[in-house]
Amino acid sequence: MTTSPDRVAGDSFVGSTLGERYRLDGLIGRGGMASVYRGEDLALGRPVAVKVFAEAAEGIDDAERRRSETALLASLAHRALVRLYDAAHDPGSGREFLVMELVDGRDLREALQLGPIGSADAAGMLADLAEALHVIHERGIVHRDVKPANVLLEPAHLPSRTWNAKLADFGIARLIDDARITRTGLLVGTPGYLSPEQVTGSAPGPAADVYSLGLLVLEARTGEAAFPGPAVESASARLVRDPDIPASLGADWVTLLRAMTAREPADRPSALDVAVAAATLDTSPGAAGVVTAPTVAFGDLAAPATQAVGGMSPSAVEEEDDSTADTRILPAPDRSFFGVPAASAPAPETSRRAARISDRHRRWVRPAIAVTLLAAIATVVALVIGSALAAQPAVDSTPAPLPEVPGELGVHLEELEEAVAG
């Protein structure tokens, strides 16, 4: 995306000042729900990103609730979160707007147009974003729209990293009342990255963000969206099948991505589990992980353009693929159409508990421990029998009773003695 500080023809907000404080200098991008501008905070003299919502997006004009929610979101400080500075209602235009950190970089959606990214960059990005989700989940916030356009790539200042990933647009669902923005029978989201529970109309929990992150990282590794196509087709596909995860990514990647994109929320790991697992992924040059398309090193990208929250391109308001378009207000799906009766639809997830990746490792370790114990028991039995036989006179063919051994091993020895005597 290229930032243009110049006035955009036909855009009445460029050059205006919202809330008598935030001057809008140029349009960065426009989507279905809002437009993002590069601006300046006249009170503090710093550059900011201002997201101005469309007229239909009402809900943050309640001053008391706005102050409460803004204070909560502004308190979330993390290197992988785009900071929220302010949220307000502009009386002059009648529009709601957010003021956020301006990030110098590009969004992941644009970067992926050059091809998939390598395993090392993908693992670093996954760790950053999962840790950011863990922070907001701990405060009771669900993002609900994790997608490439909401991942900003900021140039890093360390030789070991070329960029840092930042998650944008978190908490908007809290600032804008769901009941007012969605209206009855509607839902908000980006079809290509919705979780199965969002598709069926259930209230999303933290596990929904983990699912969306799994689809995002899978696309980053392969260069292909997991559920492409028109909105309804893309959204409904995940109710009947899991995403295709190529074995060429490597066993550890496949295991983690498969767990993150499990159809049942309770079967997915938590965001914290994902962040920990991402640090252990095999990213060595010789490891499995070669995909069919050439991977892109982010250090080879052209000089980044200045970006803001949302990552929306001024010249690409409409997407060729509905599944990866900007956040949209979509008709809520008919659950009977997907084969899910309304009465049996999944209930909202109320617990933060998710399946732990370590459970999978325990399934592999327990059989090995059992085999080792059996071998040890067999060795002890052989030694005891050998000692007992050696102590008997040569003319006495009746074996002496085996010595008493306490515990489970003694039970096995008694069974062995009965079998020999019988």
Active-site positions? Answer: 145
Q: What angle do CA 189, 195, 200 make, to 5 degrees?
A: 85
Residue ranges of alpha helices (H) inside 117-270 are: 119-138, 172-175, 178-181, 196-199, 206-222, 231-237, 251-260
Distance of CA 197 to the CA centre of its chain: 15
Task: Outline where 149-230 has alpha helix (H).
Answer: 172-175, 178-181, 196-199, 206-222
Indicate the helix (H) or strand (E) that contains 386.
helix 357-390
Other CB atoms within 10 Å distance of the CB of residue 120: 16
Query: Would you state the structure tokens that stand for residue 217, as one six-digit string?
Result: 């990282």
Alpha-helical segments (H) within 139-292: 172-175, 178-181, 196-199, 206-222, 231-237, 251-260, 271-278
Q: What's CA 391's distance to the chain center, in Å?
A: 68
* Cα–Cα dist 111/109, whole Å: 6
Task: Give the C-alpha separation, 232 to 237, whole Å.
Answer: 8
Closest by CA position to 193, among listed 162, 149, 129, 251: 149
Residue written as tokens 């992924």?
281
Q: CB atoms < 10 A from the CB of 242, how many? A: 14
Q: What's the rounded Cα separation, in Å, for the pair 409 and 236?
A: 56
